[in-house]
Structure 1
Amino acid sequence: MATWRIGTTTVHKVLEAEVPALVTEVLRTDDTALLKRYPWPAPDFSRADGTFVLSVHGLVVDTGTRRILVDTCVGNARASVPFLRMLDSAWLEDLTALGYPPESIDTVVCTHLHFDHIGWNTRLVDGKWVPTFPRARHLVTRVEWDHWAGEADADLQDTMRPLIDGGLVDFVATDHRVCDGVSLEAAPGHTPGQVAVVIESGAERAVITGDLVHHPVQFIEPDVAGLADTDAARAAATRRAFVERYADTGTLVIGTHFPAPTAGLLRRGGDGTVRFVAAGPR
């Protein structure tokens, strides 16, 4: 579990699972050598054979006065998810051992509503799906909910309906201010209402990507879409804007699906090309 300090705010990574993947299984490309052309993330984010590891983790943002959980992974006992089905992980116990039992979380941010970001919104108790974080406000952008609300997907209903019925969901704008120093930033394309999460404290800043990228190579080749991007052109535009906004600013970029060390800095070379330079916990 990695921890980063952003001024007086701490960000903790809570790992659920890591999945070895072929680039063609995650990104919309037939170029199996894509990662081999860019050795700069290796050995942290790419393997010599051109494969990589997809990490599934949640991120706790602790401002000292607020305990915010960004994305809740896949969850246990999910029968119909495309991968990692019927997990029996210790993710919730790991979160508690870190000092954040479910009852202590006051806010859950859903960057978007894909199954691997909302699974622990609820848990199965005596055959019934109940809220995992009963005291938390669950933030979902209105654009995102309007896109998915008509879906009959069982996992979406199991992870969201108990929260809505319990009055635990706030539908917010894509630029919503969560609290002092934490705000949402629109990142559409992967899904219509996806957001990144911006953390600012003192002179320091970090941003949690959501699924605007699944691998750092998409920073240098933004037109390489994710297989699950609902609007590939818009997702590419979002990636370009993200690089323009954060390259060479010292902003720590924390990848929602990047394996350890998970975070890094966007830097431009003298020729203008972009690199993602890994940065360990701090």
Structure 2
Amino acid sequence: MNEITIGDVTVARVEELHGPVGMTPEQFFPGWPDRDWQDNRDWLVPDHLGAEDRIVQVAFQTFALRSEGRIILVDTGIGNDKTRSAVPAWDHLSSGYLDNLARAGIRPEEVDLVINTHLHVDHIGWNTRLEGGRWVPTFPNATYLMPRLDVEHFDPSKNPDIANGVNAGAFEDSVEPIRAAGLVQLWEGEHTVDGNLRLVAAPGHTPGASVLQLTSGTDRALFAGDLMHTPLQVSHPDHHSCFCEDPATARTTRRDLLGWAADNTALILPAHFSGQTALEVVRSGSAFAIKDWGPFPAY
């Protein structure tokens, strides 16, 4: 089953894609010594690292939550039909995402809230879909929660350099139509979603990057967005991905939130972990260690 229960909240894992991301560890995590990858190869392969080609393996997925009578989506992936010339594998993608959402028992019009943990291209794509030649909200009855700092940072009218990077075109086709429809709610710092869920700023990967903390009864979970891209960052939290815009701040944020998860026995659900997706961690010296995997089945 791709659905679990955490306290009073049910969580479904909705896949868009999983597999090789087309980058070696040296490309994805610049400056990270190869010996760390070699020393951990026995458990990184095949879910997180290709056996022969050493290509990093990742997932693109949404966590669909049912909490206090509402359906809440955390991140919306890459999206179909969009021009993504910087990443050819995503260019005019045609995935079965909406079919997978339907298998989780969710129709787009039933979604109450969409949370974009940050506004990188692979977290906002299904905010919209192509209809009659126009980009329209995929979830027309939802409020879309977006970090104010990221909306300002990724707006090409305010930051022209964005138009030339991997996010080229994403603001125009996946954020602007949502704003035009009056569905965006901006937040910063902290934001209470409901009695179980709270958004917390987690800067570094992007200026407005965030995580979603779940506290329900004695259960805890952390929907970690892009806090980590590989489980090897649990034991090596000071290494960052090439996509982190402020590596020093990202390191501090990662250590702080891994500490919160360890101290609260929280299930961590990063956006991009393949395999079993979720994990628990414990403190281990000056870093952390994986306590257990699960409870989702491996991809």
Provide, for residues 189-222 of structure 1, a one-character-per-residue CA deviation record: whole Å limited to 9, x for no partner: 0000000111121110111111111111122222
Aligned to 2:96: 90
Aligned to 1:167: 182
Equivalents in 1 of 2:34, 2:240: separation in Å? Answer: 14
1:200 lines up with 2:241 in the alignment: no
CA deviation after TM superposition for structure 1 residue 245, in Å: 1.6
Equivalents in 2 of 1:129, 1:108: separation in Å? Answer: 17
Aligned pairs for 1:60-99 (under 5 A) are: 60-80=64-84, 81-82=86-87, 83-99=89-105
Equivalents in 2 of 1:35, 1:145: separation in Å? Answer: 35
Structure 1 unaligned blocks of 5 or more: none
Q: What SS does the corresponding residue of 1:192 show, helix, strand or coil?
A: coil
Equivalents in 1 of 2:93, 2:128: separation in Å? Answer: 14
Equivalents in 2 of 1:272, 1:246: separation in Å? Answer: 15
1:267 lines up with 2:270 in the alignment: no
The percent of aligned pairs where both chains have the same amino acid is 33
Aligned to 1:20: 20
Provide, for residues 137-163 of structure 1, a one-character-per-residue CA deviation record: whole Å limited to 9, x for no partner: 000111111211224432211101111
Q: What SS does the corresponding residue of 1:130 show, helix, strand or coil?
A: strand
Equivalents in 1 of 2:218, 2:125: separation in Å? Answer: 34
| Structure 1 length-normalised TM | 0.92
| Aligned partner letter, 1:137 | T
Contact 1:35 / 1:51 at 8 angstroms: preserved in 2?
no
CA deviation after TM superposition for structure 1 residue 133, in Å: 0.4
Equivalents in 1 of 2:286, 2:242: separation in Å? Answer: 28
Aligned to 1:185: 200
Aligned residues: 281
132-141 or 215-224: bigger deviation: 215-224
1:273 and 1:227, CA in 2 relative to 1: closer, same or farther beyond 3 A?
closer
Contact 1:41 / 1:278 at 8 angstroms: preserved in 2?
no
2:227 to 190, 208, 212: 212
Aligned pairs for 1:19-38 (under 5 A) are: 19-21=19-21, 22-29=24-31, 31-38=33-40
Aligned to 2:59: 55
1:250 and 1:46, CA in 2 relative to 1: closer, same or farther beyond 3 A?
farther
| Aligned partner letter, 1:45 | H
| Structure 2 length-normalised TM | 0.87
Equivalents in 2 of 1:71, 1:3: separation in Å? Answer: 17
153-162 or 225-234: bigger deviation: 153-162
Q: What SS does the corresponding residue of 2:190 show, helix, strand or coil?
A: coil
Structure 2 unaligned blocks of 5 or more: none
Provide, for residues 63-101 of structure 1, a one-character-per-residue CA deviation record: whole Å limited to 9, x for no partner: 141110000000001122524221111101210221110
Equivalents in 2 of 1:89, 1:266: separation in Å? Answer: 33
Equivalents in 1 of 2:38, 2:270: separation in Å? Answer: 20
| Aligned partner letter, 1:279 | G
Equivalents in 1 of 2:286, 2:42: separation in Å? Answer: 15
The CA RMSD over aligned residues, in Å, is: 2.0
Aligned pairs for 1:240-279 (under 5 A) are: 240-269=255-284, 271=285, 273-276=287-290, 277-279=292-294
Equivalents in 1 of 2:263, 2:176: separation in Å? Answer: 42
Aligned to 1:224: 239
Aligned to 2:121: 115
